[in-house]
Chain A
């Protein structure tokens, strides 16, 4: 019975998916992303996080295995159909020719032939990404953090009037100061929850992952080493993942916070 509900709610499903980049092998990955689920991908640099995300977004071809999106093989979707249900924010956010920010945001909806509410959506998406004051400026005149906000607004605009979609983001918070990191994480969460969109995000900050995401995918050496709920039980797996020691504490609201220590102190602890 439980099995049945999970397959019904499944949004994206990977079955023994492998990829090969140069001489490096990735996978096999077996996982299911449920509708409206919030999943964080964590792992050391070069572990294959971006590769996994690119497999999920079809940017990278699989060498074997099946990916199913909304009960149809992912490969059988046309790019246009896919763009109405799935938005991807890549790590690199360069825009040529210095297009204006409102045009960049509206490009999220470029594949819609008829879009009567475009200007409204662009404005609201910009406001949600804390970028309303940046509208009308040239993209190449913005700082890294401002560019990241415009790109996030573009993702918001793309799936603004959809539900049950999928958002794939690669380190959306990397270029931002701590205050904005919390604001944008909250916006992303609110945006996805309102629309029942699932989020799969690559993150560097363990605390962000623990606070805003329900589930953690831990990637190391091109393999999925753990697929666990985001709670205190995950701490030992995280320590293994980064080869660090984590000290846990709680803030006044009762949220779990972790602070990393060097691996050598962990070795001493276990000895």
Chain B
């Protein structure tokens, strides 16, 4: 039954491994090491200098564990903050890679398409309206209100995008980005209304949070985020080959056996969860989700099985560096990190646009 055609033997013998796993783990390893180094370096920077023996305080079981001074700063402020930055960055990188894969375009990004704005608008509404209503909500539930409302906002925008993208020319990134402009404007209007209605205390809360900041970091927050990211990654792993098939187009993906509708719904819910929780805990941090997948695609190829994990590491690395700079550039004050990512990300987006100009029309 095998065809009697001559097969050229020029290919590397590792083709099977490449096709099954998506290539060598080299870049993943490099990114992991870079991330670890950045993590160790970032906790050194700040108002209080950290000494080597501060690292050992937790291992010192001889006397009572009382963290004081610089060791307290290291273990209870810097480390959870750095881990939180890495995890939020990973969530943003993953949601960016998923969005780009879903819309089959490197310019698709939860930020530009208004998903982040939708999450922020919903969360803003819950800050101003819900807290104004004085509902008898148990204390333990309160910390989930913001994430859940932000998730609902993100989900709403995602489904709206999915619909609208089909009405106007399917596959056209221009139509998609224009829809993103409209949704961003809508989100901004709702947030503006919240700002207008807010009390003084709520206003401080709102403005700090819309600029994007990791100041809310704690071991609890980092732990919760990890508990969210691990199942998300497990879920993504199951559909990662199908994400590659999506690059063929929806019809062709269905013909090779992919349930495209189910895949789209899963990706949309995942993107909404990741964006919603990131926004609820840190406000709007832009451009990580756009830049990270693009960088790893340029460095190591477009195979989604590699792009998604690498984007997570790259996103974590980028946000960690940005946050360290934001913490240290104006000690003792702290600049919101969202300002930095936008400052770096906007020119990057313009470069992307220039490279894509042929395909935009």
Contact = CB atoms under 8 A, between A and B. Distances in A.
Contact of B303 (A103, A108, A132): A103
Contacts of A195: 1
Contacts of B5: 124, 127-128
A118 B258 contact: no
Q: Contact size class for B?
A: 35 or more
Contact of B248 (A59, A104, A191, A194): A104
Interface in B1-32: 1-3, 5-8, 11, 15-16, 18-20
Contact of A83 (B16, B19, B255, B302): B255
A95 interface: yes
- Which of A97, A122, A127, A194 has the most chain B CB atoms inside 10 A of its CB? A97
Contacts of A118: 16, 19-20
Given A88-B252, A161-B1, A99 B19 contact: no
A158 B258 CA distance: 13
A135 B18 CA distance: 13
Majority DSSP secondary structure for residues of B touching A: loop
B172 to A, nearest CB: 12
A259 B268 CA distance: 54
Contact of A107 (B11, B244, B297): B244
Contacts of A104: 248
B310 interface: no
Contact of B105 (A59, A96, A99): A96
A29 B105 CA distance: 38
Nearest to A58: B254
Interface in A190-214: 190-191, 194-195
Contact of A87 (B19, B244, B255): B255
B106 interface: yes
Contact of B255 (A57, A115, A194): A57
A111 B244 contact: no
A96 B7 contact: no
Interface in B237-270: 241-242, 244-249, 251-252, 254-259
B104 interface: yes
Contacts of A191: 3
Contacts, number: 115
Contacts of B106: 97
B132 interface: no
Q: Contact size class for A?
A: 35 or more
Nearest to A127: B5
Interface string A21-55: 00000000000000000000000000000000000
Contacts of B259: 79-80
B11 A94 contact: no
A119 B19 contact: yes
B3 A79 contact: no
Nearest to A112: B257
- Which of A79, A83, A99, A194 has the most chain B CB atoms inside 10 A of its CB? A79
A110 B260 CA distance: 13
Contacts of B242: 110
A236 interface: no
A189 interface: no
B1 A90 contact: no
Nearest to B303: A103
Contacts of A154: 256
Interface in A148-189: 154, 158, 161, 163
24 contacts: A57-B255, A59-B251, A79-B258, A80-B259, A88-B252, A95-B248, A96-B104, A96-B105, A96-B247, A96-B249, A98-B302, A99-B302, A100-B303, A102-B15, A103-B303, A107-B248, A110-B242, A110-B256, A111-B258, A123-B15, A127-B6, A158-B256, A190-B3, A194-B3
Given A98-B302, A107-B247, A115-B20, 11 more contacts: A88-B251, A90-B252, A96-B104, A106-B19, A118-B16, A127-B6, A135-B11, A154-B256, A158-B256, A161-B1, A190-B3
